[in-house]
Structure 1
Amino acid sequence: MGERGFQEIANMQWRIETDTAIGHGDGEHAPDTPSSYTSTTSISSSILDYRQLHGRTYQNSKTGEYWAPNDQKQNEGLDLIHNALLMLLDNRLSFIPIDGCIGPERVLDVGTGTGIWAMDFGDQYPTSKVIGTDLSPIQPSWVPPNVEFILDDCTLNWVWPENHFDFIHLRSLYGSIPDWRALYNKVFSHLKPGGWIQSIEMEIRIKSDHVDFPADHIFNRWADMTYEAGEKMGRTFTICQGQNIRNHLQEIGFVDIVEQKTKAPLHGWPSDPKLREAGQLFQIAFDESLNGFGMYLFTQVLGWTREEVDVLISEMREESRKKANCHWFEV
């Protein structure tokens, strides 16, 4: 089998400069245009029979229950994170070699979520055929003519032949994959020789270069509880730690591996205007999504009561809003 390349967007190590105005007391996607977009096909109403939990909706899966909500509140947070990531990554949707405006012919976006990355990529490269897959049909009904969304569980057998795609994109699949090596094996098999994978994952633990958070700080307790829930589900949240992804890809046979690790600021504390704006977006998305990040994991997996989790979420929200923490997470 021919060689495949790999791009993992994670972190160029640097120290983010803080805004000098910070004191220690400081505590969507553009509307679719029907004339140039096409409507996706209708789906069975049984697919929309979501599980209800504490006022949120969740998608059922053949391979297990998915931990994150699929409702409008969570989806708005996902789109904010997408836009913040673009700011963080120099407005680049991909880091693979692309010659001019001619994109890769066949593109697969695994776990597409709201579909915003797939639609943006399809807009930017109109000659590419982009397929986005997800467990939930939460994507818009109007999409670029070269973009298609399919309901699919990436942990099951894939419907496409081997050596089919030129570029496969994965992002934010932490906590949803029982066997990352098996998933990357599927990617390798379904890429054409010379094709590319880009895998972007985020770290749960929040850190700071300016504040030392003790072990019992809410940032560390939240991360440890999330890791514990992931281990109990058999779906780790620690895939981006160390060189986990790189090691999997090397063992499978990917070559030309480029790994970058980036500090994503939370809040508007950086002195750099672009990082400050990205941090503000990340903070809004974080604030919007905290309930969705924690409620299922902590009640259904760890056995906490809703009232206990509500208190934990309030504590996390209060601490994350403190600009003087100068906090960040790794991408």
Structure 2
Amino acid sequence: MPATGPSPDTAAEGAKSPDDAESPVINTQIPFIPHDSDDDNDSALGDDSSIASSSASLTDSIFEYRALHGRTYQVSKSTEYWGPNDEAQNEGLDLAHALVTMLMGDRLFAAPLAARAPTNPSWVPPNCTFYLDDAQLDWTFDPASFDFVHIRALYGSINDWPRLYAQAHDALMPGGWIENFELTILLRSDAPHVRDDPQHIFKRWADVFCEAGDRLDRTLRIGNNYTMHRLLHEAGFEDVTQKYYQVPVGGWSSDPVYKKIGIYNLAFMEQSLEGFALFLLREIMKWTYERVQVFLMEMRAEIRNTKIRPYYLMTNAYARKPE
């Protein structure tokens, strides 16, 4: 059965450790049938390499970047955003989008959206306008102007999640839906020597990243402990559902779909780990560049280790504004 989350009263954010008090009901389990060899020689990323071009409405401030060790990061009025915005990171995000879409059964969202009119047109003009803005500032959209607000991967970049959800609530039409898809920072393994070792790289990685997020006052734990479920309920939403998904790292699953997801996920992490680490560990935690690189080497070695079958949890929450 899908995990819909506990009552808001029991879904406290609370704990400081990235996995304290978190024992979520998992919506998916990764199929795995042991074989004689645990080697993973599957490195194909598939044929989904084309990227559609889009028009965008931009302000000059969008192009104000800062450089750290050869990577570029966004400058914003209100946000110390921890992920790069350069081409290397964009390639990783393309992989992440592909694996999330596969995880969702080739869908872009899970919310049960209904048509707002009796009939829908059979043809829609291929025009889409993007507005880049800072979601932490006052929203400039008219009240009740959207059917659907979709949020993905803002963990570590929002310092007031209740306000974000409240502004989304105001911007939605009655009966409209919000959906928020977030990653959890802790990598996991069911191998006892990994699961039970408090000093394993997976746990040390999660601990230091969560501490850096705390120092920025931008939590990386938004996907933990059914926090999204609670905050959406407190913002006035109804029919709140939160689900957790296991996401493999590497092609170790015996299921062909999960195997492909894992291959994409490993490629995404290989592409993205350094960009994620440089800002938080160098600028916030004040680590040396050399220490960051050693940490990254240790992490890469473990995510490539198919014998421990690494994975992490993604969480998706959606809710409806009352009619």
**Is the pair's TM-score, using the shorter chain for normalization, greater than 0.5?**
yes
Distance in 1, matches of 2:54 and 2:283, equals: 39
Number of residues of Structure 1 aligned to a counterpart in Structure 2:
282
Is 1:194 the counterpart of 2:175? The answer is yes
Letter in 2 for 1:49: E
Tell me by how many angstroms 1:330 deviates. Answer: 0.4
Q: For residues 102-141 of structure 1, what are the structure 2 equivalents within 5 Å?
A: 127=124
1:11, 1:259 within 8 Å by CA — same for their partners in 2? no
Is 1:150 the counterpart of 2:164? The answer is no
TM-score under structure 2 length normalisation: 0.80
Root mean square deviation, CA, Å? 2.6
Tell me by how many angstroms 1:250 deviates. Answer: 1.0
Specify whether residues 187 and 225 from structure 1 end up closer, same or farther in structure 2 by C-alpha distance, changes over 3 A only.
same
Distance in 2, matches of 1:172 and 1:328, equals: 17
Match of 1:216 among 181, 184, 199: 199
Distance in 2, matches of 1:284 and 1:22, equals: 25
Is 1:94 the counterpart of 2:109? The answer is yes
Specify whether residues 126 and 242 from structure 1 end up closer, same or farther in structure 2 by C-alpha distance, changes over 3 A only.
farther
Q: For residues 280-299 of structure 1, what are the structure 2 equivalents within 5 Å?
A: 280-299=263-282
Hey, what does 2:14 align to over in structure 1?
none
Is 1:248 the counterpart of 2:231? The answer is yes
Is 1:18 the counterpart of 2:32? The answer is yes
Distance in 1, matches of 2:232 and 2:123, equals: 29
Specify whether residues 92 and 295 from structure 1 end up closer, same or farther in structure 2 by C-alpha distance, changes over 3 A only.
same
Specify whether residues 184 and 238 from structure 1 end up closer, same or farther in structure 2 by C-alpha distance, changes over 3 A only.
same
Hey, what does 1:236 align to over in structure 2?
219
TM-score under structure 1 length normalisation: 0.79
Hey, what does 1:67 align to over in structure 2?
82
Specify whether residues 42 and 193 from structure 1 end up closer, same or farther in structure 2 by C-alpha distance, changes over 3 A only.
closer
Is 1:84 the counterpart of 2:104? The answer is no
Is 1:174 the counterpart of 2:155? The answer is yes
Specify whether residues 240 and 22 from structure 1 end up closer, same or farther in structure 2 by C-alpha distance, changes over 3 A only.
farther
Distance in 2, matches of 1:231 and 1:308, equals: 21
Hey, what does 2:50 align to over in structure 1?
30
Distance in 2, matches of 1:254 and 1:227, equals: 28
Tell me by how many angstroms 1:278 deviates. Answer: 0.3
Does the residue aligned with 1:208 lie in a helix, a strand or coil?
coil
2:57, 2:130 within 8 Å by CA — same for their partners in 1? no
Hey, what does 2:18 align to over in structure 1?
none
Specify whether residues 11 and 88 from structure 1 end up closer, same or farther in structure 2 by C-alpha distance, changes over 3 A only.
farther
Letter in 2 for 1:320: I
1:71-91 per-residue CA deviation (whole Å, 9 max, x = no partner) reads: 000010011001001111111
1:103-124 per-residue CA deviation (whole Å, 9 max, x = no partner) reads: x69xxxxxxxxxxxxxxxxxxx
Indicate the percent of aligned positions where both proteins have the same amino acid: 38
Q: Which runs of 5+ in 1 are unaligned?
A: 1-6, 106-124, 129-143
Does the residue aligned with 2:241 lie in a helix, a strand or coil?
strand
1:33-63 per-residue CA deviation (whole Å, 9 max, x = no partner) reads: xxxx76445754x642310101100110001
2:28, 2:244 within 8 Å by CA — same for their partners in 1? no
Tell me by how many angstroms 1:15 deviates. Answer: 3.6
Distance in 2, matches of 1:61 and 1:179, equals: 16
Letter in 2 for 1:249: L
Hey, what does 1:163 align to over in structure 2?
144
Specify whether residues 250 and 212 from structure 1 end up closer, same or farther in structure 2 by C-alpha distance, changes over 3 A only.
farther
Specify whether residues 152 and 292 from structure 1 end up closer, same or farther in structure 2 by C-alpha distance, changes over 3 A only.
same
Tell me by how many angstroms 1:161 deviates. Answer: 1.1
Letter in 1 for 2:94: D
2:249, 2:263 within 8 Å by CA — same for their partners in 1? yes
Tell me whether 214-223 or 18-27 shows the greater mean CA deviation. 18-27
